[in-house]
Amino acid sequence: MSELFGTLPDGTEVHRWTLQRSGTRVEVLTYGGIVRSVEVPDREGRTADVVLGFAGLDGYLAHPEPYLGALIGRYANRLAGARFPLDDVVYALEPNEGPNVLHGGARGFDKRVWDAAGVEHGVRLARVSSHGEEGFPGRLDVAVTYTLDADGALRIAYEARTDAPTVVALTSHGYFNLAGSGAGSAAGHELRLAASRLTPTGEDLIPTGELREVAGSRFDFRDGRKVGTGYDHNFVLDKGVTGAPEQVAELHDPSSGRTLTVATTEPGLQLYTGDHLPAPFAPCDGIALETQHFPDSPNHPGFPSTVLRPGEVYRSETVYGFSVR
């Protein structure tokens, strides 16, 4: 189902698509590919929205920086010095976080209106990112499909093609609070991550290039532990890049019984505890689990490649499953 959600200052209409299946109800906006809400039941059968979002379009326009529920591209996370080398050419981008580029630049995919078409159990968003958009080379044809599986899991499938060598890394920036949006801090949720290493960063949150073992540190979520504040880190998933989604994370709220599982084809996962969420939200009101390639990969030859060339197809898929216990 599609309906008008709001209108941008230039008159462009933004629509809301509602998906519903097997007890899960999801709203997706054509503005920024935003997952505005995900409603699922708790162990008592009571339904609540478990992702942070704004009631109207004005909220997203006034508070773009948290990237609430947004589709991120062309490059998720950070690129150091707003530049990257590719085929002996250094491409200079426009910085939007100090000297660096964050989440694709000042007008990344999260601030674009996407074309939408209904598909079975979901919606397909598509747009063309022109050569030079935010400084990235190559025309990029992108499609992102949001569907609900038979068990109510939200599946996000990304696809892109280019006419010139470029770099691509896409993700969805949802913040989860399994007690329900507006229920207060998500600190105390229990997290399990299939990651033995992470990519440590400097003060600018740019990876140093090291792959550091998590054993014995507060970053060791392999056997499960409660999440506190102070996390904005990329974890190196033990499975690496895979052709089909494999489960890598589980987030559980003991109070409601709601459990979120994350399966992905990606090699990394950014855990961000929302320490800098603006009002009306508070720190750690939601926990972001962003499946991704590593931050700043084009500047680290030892990281998994994010290069896409003509004739190749970029594909990535992440599945968010919901259950109770």
How far apart, in whole angstroms, are the C-alpha atoms of residue 284 and residue 276? Answer: 8
Residue type present at position 195: A
Mark whether 203 is an active-site residue: no
Mark whether 290 is an active-site residue: yes
Token pair 């997203």: residue: 60
Residue type present at position 95: P
Among the listed residues 173, 189, 233, 252, the single catalytic one is 173
Residue 53, sorted as left (phi over 0), alpha (psi -120 to 50) or beta, turns out to be beta
Among the listed residues 252, 290, 293, 317, the single catalytic one is 290
- b/e burial code for range 250-284 (CB count within 10 A of at least 16 → b): bbbbeebebbbbbbbbbbbbbbbbbeebeeebeeb
Angle at 44 between CA 42 and CA 46, to 5 degrees: 60
DSSP codes joined into one string, 88-140: TEEEE---SBTTBEETTSTT-GGGSBPEEEEETTEEEEEEEE-TTGGG--S-E
Residue type present at position 230: G
* Four-point Cα dihedral 187, 189, 192, 197, nearest 10: 0
Active site residues: 173, 290
